[in-house]
Amino acid sequence: MKELFVLAEHRQGELRDVTFEMLTKGREISQKINADLTAVLLGHDVKEFAKTLAEQAKKVLIIDDVRLENFNAETYQKVLSYLISERQPSLTLIGHTAFGVDLAPSLATELKMPLATDCIDLDFEGERLVVIRQVYGGKVNVKAMLRKSESYIVTLRPATFEAQEVKAAGGQMIEVASPLSEDITYKRFIEYVQPPAGEVDITAADVIVAIGRGIKDADNMPVIEKLAKALGGVLACSRPIVDKDWLPTDRQVGTSGKTVKPKLYIAVGISGAFQHISGMKNADLIIAVNKDGKAPIFRVADYGVVEDLFKVVPVLTERILEEKSS
């Protein structure tokens, strides 16, 4: 029986959402190619995870080793390359996460298997694997084909597939002996660190005005701050603003920052890379201001203004202040 592997991702005692998203997509493909959906679980003391995964997959392969307790791409690669070589799955799905990007490219190179990363869709056309990816910051999609192979590796973009509830699959739990014979000393996990909390908690705000690359210069920030103040909201931002140190890390909205769900989110000069969108798409009302009418932010916004933000924002701020004083 053919197999389709899904690598379960977990961190600090929790299975991560991307695992269930991959199981959902993996189930659909496994039915199409007539393969068993197999969850691969690497870790230490992960019995509870195995039970959860068995509700969703036909099989759960468990390798329990203290050396797998915290993610380390080197140890993960050793174990996965062993499992994939042994069982030759048609496809292995890995999350396109901080863990997945550390692991998949070197794993595929070692196994001499074609890899496609950051995919938002995939399908078999005959024996060939076809994927959809986004390029140029989400402004263009690509349909691409992988070199023909018996076995493929794909990393899936998180928060792209909706994880579906399924009736318990009663999957078989299979414990596999760890192939790790010694400690890996050339790459060691030391610890997790959480940056200290700042004075403003943007996740608690009802109104957020967020700025991005489009504001061009730190000197332009007061213009937007005035709008945020007029609305009684807080200022947040997309990644480039934090990279430039114009705002502290705890103001960043997106996958590597905070996920927010305010009543109002005004995105100013933010083009809307998926990393940002996944952190704010569930806001009740989204208004976007961007001079590029094709910017991806307009695909999640309720209202859009295609204009120079430096023209729009002062007028809007003025009108809001007038409205409040009348």
- The 3-state DSSP class for residue 196 equals coil
Closest CB to another protein among 12 and 34?
A: 12
Does 231 engage in binding with another protein (CB under 8 A)?
yes
Residues 6+ apart with CB under 8 A from 234: 200, 202, 205, 207, 208, 209, 228, 251
Interacting residue with another protein among 143, 168, 181, 222 (CB under 8 A): 143
- The 3-state DSSP class for residue 81 equals helix
Please give the full DSSP string across 4-36, using - where no structure is assigned: EEEE--EETTEE-HHHHHHHHHHHHHHHHTTEE
Residues 60-89 that bind another protein (CB under 8 A): 70-74
Interacting residue with another protein among 5, 49, 265, 298 (CB under 8 A): 298
Interface with another protein by CB under 8 A: which range of 22-30, 43-51, 99-107, 175-183? 99-107
Residues 8-27 that bind another protein (CB under 8 A): 11
Neighbours of 64 (CB within 10 A): 18
Q: What are phi and psi of 199, to 5 degrees?
A: -80, -20
- CB of residue 288 to another protein, shortest distance in Å: 6
Closest CB to another protein among 175 and 292?
A: 292
Euclidean distance between CA atoms 37 and 23, whole angstroms: 8
Does 186 engage in binding with another protein (CB under 8 A)?
yes
E strand or H helix that includes residue 117: strand 115-125
> How many residues sit close enough to another protein to count as binding (CB under 8 A)?
103
Does 192 engage in binding with another protein (CB under 8 A)?
yes
Q: Which amino acid is at 243?
A: D
CB 2 within 8 A of CB 93: no
- CB of residue 248 to another protein, shortest distance in Å: 11
Residues 29-48 that bind another protein (CB under 8 A): none
Does 223 engage in binding with another protein (CB under 8 A)?
no
Interacting residue with another protein among 23, 94, 108, 280 (CB under 8 A): 108
Does 144 engage in binding with another protein (CB under 8 A)?
yes
Does 191 engage in binding with another protein (CB under 8 A)?
yes
For residue 164, give the DSSP letter. Answer: P
Does 250 engage in binding with another protein (CB under 8 A)?
yes
